[in-house]
Amino acid sequence: MHSVGKNRNPFVVFLLSIVTFGIYCVYWYYKINDEIRQHDPSIEVKPGIAAVALFVPIANLVSYYNTAGRIRKMEEADQVANPISPVLALVLIFLFGIGYFFVVQGHLNAHWDRHRQEAPQPITGAAPAGTTA
């Protein structure tokens, strides 16, 4: 079974990024890329390099696009009807800034929720060991 990442509130991600002068944004970006890597080892990503790329002009835009592309790959594997658009996610950085957090984290939250629902549920109400039903 694949590991499932953490659901996060996109508004809180944005707010904490402002309050911490961008430090939380880098942490969040590292974590989501690490969760993607752990969830699907076939998706190649080095979370540390992805996070460092945020500090390099042009490379940061490529990294933002690639992260959305990784999410799209996961969604396509699940045959999601409306997967994330890496181009739209990138455009949202320029238009609203905050939109990237909402789109990326929103798609990740939905992906993690789908995989939590697919996980085998523990059997409840089973008779204790050594007893008969």
Task: Tell whether 104 is covered by a domain.
Answer: yes
Task: Tell whether 75 is covered by a domain.
Answer: yes
Task: Tell whether 79 is covered by a domain.
Answer: yes
Task: Tell whether 132 is covered by a domain.
Answer: no
Residues spanned by the domain of 76: 10-118
pTM: 0.85
Distance separating alpha carbons of residues 103 and 21, to the nearest angstrom? 21
Q: Which two tokens stand for residue 126?
A: 């089973």
Mean pLDDT across 80-102? 91
Task: Tell whether 88 is covered by a domain.
Answer: yes
pLDDT, tens digit, for every residue of 29-61?
Answer: 999 999 999 999 999 999 999 999 999 999 999
Task: Tell whether 125 is covered by a domain.
Answer: no
Distance separating alpha carbons of residues 38 and 86, to the nearest angstrom? 21
Task: Tell whether 92 is covered by a domain.
Answer: yes
- How many domains in the chain? 1
